[in-house]
């Protein structure tokens, strides 16, 4: 069997913030992919604004480096489980993975998640213990943890015989011993070339290319990115696209690109083993196969994990609708959601009885929050409901998703955290003292118990907790109500402007969410009540002017700082009878029924 020794295809997988993208930066720099005078920012592959702001990778990125006479195609994958759809597809394109693990933190929930995907596809692993220069680094222990994880996930003997490279991605150094670092990543490059299998060279057989990623360009339209598994592909030739529904479409390859560094390079010809981007197909979808017209032979479709969380997206119908957004109509929102479906295979959009509402399902709160945030930045206005978990019937039983949760927390707060997760029906799997006063708690928790949990955890531990979770499996539904908000809200009585006087009068009733001068409308949520019931309040109240002055009454009052929500916090805070109104400039919480008397009538009916 002939192999293409000039190519290696690898993916980099890791838990969030273990240094994947920084490592790719250094690989690009050391392989001479930038000019000597070129200004290169950090985390160069995280090109999307949201990725740079949050320090996470959302979309898989492909790049390539030339090491000696071998081209190494590198795919940087998201570490967060909410973007697992990207990770699964990437595994089909590569022959090896670099599993990057933090030398201090060790194996985390997403390490487990991404490694499971890699082992299922039988790709060859290389373990990279990163941040070796970090204070309290414990590389030998972490290697043992990784080995335990491989065994737990059912790795075969070949996969268990993995090489280990110790690196500091920030410094660009690597070594085969944790105490000895070379001044470059040479050891890592050599290990990749030696360990990762070269692709089979079957360029003379009929063409087979599977599309795993999609891109869009205003000039050339849809672009399908994938791997040629067999045969040769040339620009200008007529090919058949094997659709997922079984139909076949013919098209001409108008342009084809290879990858080198951060650039796409236009090419005329590509062979088995190459990763390429192809244009010319208007409606290509992920998982479809490109074949010769005379020899249609589709590859098995890609299996994508199902969504676990759903929300209703609605046209904004609040009193302030249309003030701040460019795109506010049902048609525009529906078009945008359909466009997202073209590139995000983990997303589902279903119509409802109303033409102004859609049920949007995704892999988690972050997955949906990123979509909403992207839409508001593009000028959309919409409303969304509280996130709900998606239940399934398995063997005649109603089942719900469970997640594996890892929390690192200072010892003094561990009792409160254990108590709070107990209330949310969490099951403690492991508790370890990690030294320096930290405790690591590992739990299995129903997904619905985690909606809104992050903000509670952060306030309980004064922001010191490190919280990670990823989807585990579906299990029979627990017969309990879990994770409801314990307190009611303060709801505005009328439309107007929140006044300093009105806010000061309400501060002893709860926590205020708006600043003086903020425009509010009837039914808008302006604060959290101290008690469990909702309270309608007049936050626009102004002080009556009198001509009588009092020596004691005019004392200055200090106003407390209002609690301003980020988008994720707002989504987590919602209750069943509330919406979050999202516009390019504002995030507002509101009751579904704005009028106080109508809300009261409905509440009475429900009690009857």
- pLDDT band for position 549 (50/70/90)? low
In a domain, 323, yes or no: no
**What's the pLDDT score for residue 53?**
45
In a domain, 320, yes or no: no
**Are 530 and 445 found together in one domain?**
no
**What's the pLDDT score for residue 79?**
46
- pLDDT band for position 61 (50/70/90)? low
State the total domains in the chain: 4
Residue 495 is labelled as binding a ligand: no
pLDDT tens digits, one per residue of 523-536 = 999 999 988 889 99
**Are 166 and 263 found together in one domain?**
no
Helix axes 453-460, 411-423, angle to 10 degrees: 150
In a domain, 564, yes or no: yes
Q: Are 307 and 363 in contact (CB under 8 A)?
A: yes
Task: Give the mean model confidence (pLDDT) for residues 37-59.
Answer: 41
Residue 217 is labelled as binding a ligand: no
**What's the pLDDT score for residue 86?**
60
Q: Which residues contact 523 (CB under 8 A, 6 or more apart)?
A: 491, 492, 590, 591, 593, 594, 595, 596, 599
DSSP state of 381: -
**What's the pLDDT score for residue 545?**
64
Task: Examine the pLDDT at 356 and tell me if it is beyond 90.
Answer: yes
In a domain, 19, yes or no: yes
**Which CA distances in Å does 245 have to 110, 228, 249, 283?**
33, 21, 11, 13
Residue 225 is labelled as binding a ligand: no
**Are 423 and 528 found together in one domain?**
no
- C-alpha span between 442 and 440 (Å, rounded): 7
Residue 21 is labelled as binding a ligand: yes
Residue 386 is labelled as binding a ligand: no
Average pLDDT taken over every residue of the chain: 83
- C-alpha span between 423 and 459 (Å, rounded): 17
- pLDDT band for position 58 (50/70/90)? very low
pLDDT tens digits, one per residue of 110-143 = 777 778 878 888 889 999 998 888 888 888 888 9
**Are 184 and 215 found together in one domain?**
no
Name the 3-class secondary structure at 106. Answer: coil
**Are 109 and 28 found together in one domain?**
yes
Residue 131 is labelled as binding a ligand: yes
**What's the pLDDT score for residue 217?**
65
**Are 13 and 113 found together in one domain?**
yes
Residue 542 is labelled as binding a ligand: no
Residue 195 is labelled as binding a ligand: no
**What's the pLDDT score for residue 318?**
93
In a domain, 311, yes or no: no
Q: What share of the chain is helix, strand, coil (3-state, %, to 5)?
A: 25, 35, 40
**Are 83 and 185 found together in one domain?**
yes
Through-space distance between the first and last CA atoms of the chain, rounded to whole angstroms: 76
Task: Give the mean model confidence (pLDDT) for residues 344-357.
Answer: 88
**Are 137 and 216 found together in one domain?**
no
Task: Examine the pLDDT at 396 and tell me if it is beyond 50.
Answer: yes
**Are 122 and 213 found together in one domain?**
no
pLDDT tens digits, one per residue of 568-607 = 888 888 888 899 999 999 999 999 999 989 988 888 887 7
Q: Which residues contact 126 (CB under 8 A, 6 or more apart)?
A: 96, 97, 98, 99, 162, 163, 164, 165, 191, 192, 195, 196
Among 153, 173, 195, the domain boundary falls at: 195
In a domain, 450, yes or no: yes
Helix/strand/coil (H, E, C) string of 512-577? ECCCCCCEECCCEEEEEECCCCCEEECCCCCCCCCCCCCCCCCCCCCCCCCCCCCHHHHHHHCCCC
**Are 100 and 44 found together in one domain?**
yes
- pLDDT band for position 556 (50/70/90)? low
In a domain, 32, yes or no: yes
Which domain, by its residues, includes 161? Answer: 7-195
pLDDT tens digits, one per residue of 501-526 = 899 988 889 899 999 999 999 999 99
CATH (domain of 537): 2.40.50.250
**What's the pLDDT score for residue 312?**
94
CATH (domain of 396): 3.30.70.240
């Amino acid at each position: 069997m002939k192999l293409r020794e000039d190519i290696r295809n690898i993916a980099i997988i890791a838990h969030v913030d273990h240094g994947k993208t920084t490592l790719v930066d250094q690989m690009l720099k050391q392989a001479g992919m930038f000019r000597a005078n070129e200004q290169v920012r950090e985390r160069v592959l995280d090109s999307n604004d949201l990725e740079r702001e949050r320090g996470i990778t959302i979309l898989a990125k492909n790049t390539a480096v030339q090491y000696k006479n071998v081209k190494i195609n590198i795919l940087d994958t998201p570490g967060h489980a909410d973007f697992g759809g990207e990770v699964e597809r990437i595994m089909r394109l590569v022959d090896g993975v670099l599993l990057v693990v933090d030398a201090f933190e060790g194996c985390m929930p997403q390490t487990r998640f991404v490694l499971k995907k890699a082992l299922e596809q039988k790709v060859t692993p290389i373990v990279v213990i990163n941040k070796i220069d970090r204070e309290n680094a414990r590389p030998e222990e972490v290697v043992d943890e990784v080995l335990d994880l491989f065994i737990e996930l059912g790795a075969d003997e070949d996969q268990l015989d993995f090489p280990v490279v110790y690196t500091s991605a920030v410094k660009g150094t690597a070594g085969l011993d944790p105490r000895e670092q070379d001044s470059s990543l040479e050891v890592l490059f050599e290990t990749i070339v030696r360990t990762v299998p070269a692709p089979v060279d079957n360029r003379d057989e009929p063409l087979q290319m599977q599309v795993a990623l999609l891109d869009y360009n205003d000039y050339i339209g849809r672009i399908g990115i994938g791997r040629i598994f067999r045969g040769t592909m040339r620009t200008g030739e007529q090919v058949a696209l094997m659709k997922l529904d079984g139909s076949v479409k013919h098209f001409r390859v108008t342009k084809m690109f290879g990858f080198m560094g951060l650039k796409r390079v236009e090419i005329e010809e590509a062979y088995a083993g190459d990763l390429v981007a192809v244009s010319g197909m208007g409606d290509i979808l992920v998982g479809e196969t490109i074949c010769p017209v005379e020899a249609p032979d589709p590859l098995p479709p890609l299996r994508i994990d199902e969504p676990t969380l759903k929300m209703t997206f609605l046209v904004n119908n609040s009193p302030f609708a249309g003030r701040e957004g460019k795109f506010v109509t049902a048609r525009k929102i529906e078009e945008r959601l359909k466009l997202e479906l073209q590139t995000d295979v983990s997303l589902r959009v279903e119509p409802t009885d109303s033409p102004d509402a859609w049920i949007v399902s995704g892999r988690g709160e972050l997955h949906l929050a990123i979509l909403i945030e992207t839409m508001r930045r593009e000028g959309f206005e919409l409303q969304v409901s509280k996130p709900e978990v998606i239940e399934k019937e398995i063997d005649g039983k109603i089942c719900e998703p469970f997640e594996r949760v890892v929390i690192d927390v200072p010892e003094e707060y561990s009792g409160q955290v254990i108590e709070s997760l107990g209330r949310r029906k969490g099951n403690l799997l492991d508790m370890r003292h990690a030294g320096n006063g930290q405790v690591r708690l590992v739990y299995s928790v129903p997904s619905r118990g985690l909606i809104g949990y992050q903000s509670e955890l952060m306030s309980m531990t004064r922001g010191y907790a490190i919280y990670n979770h990823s989807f585990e499996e579906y299990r029979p539904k627990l017969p309990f109500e879990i994770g409801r908000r314990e307190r009611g809200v303060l709801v505005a009585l009328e439309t107007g402007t929140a006044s300093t006087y009105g806010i000061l009068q309400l501060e002893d009733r709860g926590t205020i969410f708006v600043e003086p001068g903020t425009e509010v409308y009837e039914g808008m949520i302006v604060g959290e009540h101290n008690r469990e019931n909702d309270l309608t309040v007049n936050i626009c109240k102004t002080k009556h002017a009198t001509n009588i002055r009092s020596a004691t009454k005019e004392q200055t009052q200090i106003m407390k700082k209002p609690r301003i929500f980020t988008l994720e916090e707002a989504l987590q805070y919602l209750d069943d009878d509330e919406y979050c109104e999202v516009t390019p400039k504002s995030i507002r919480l509101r009751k579904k029924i704005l009028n106080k008397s109508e809300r009261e009538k409905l509440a009475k009916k429900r009690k009857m």
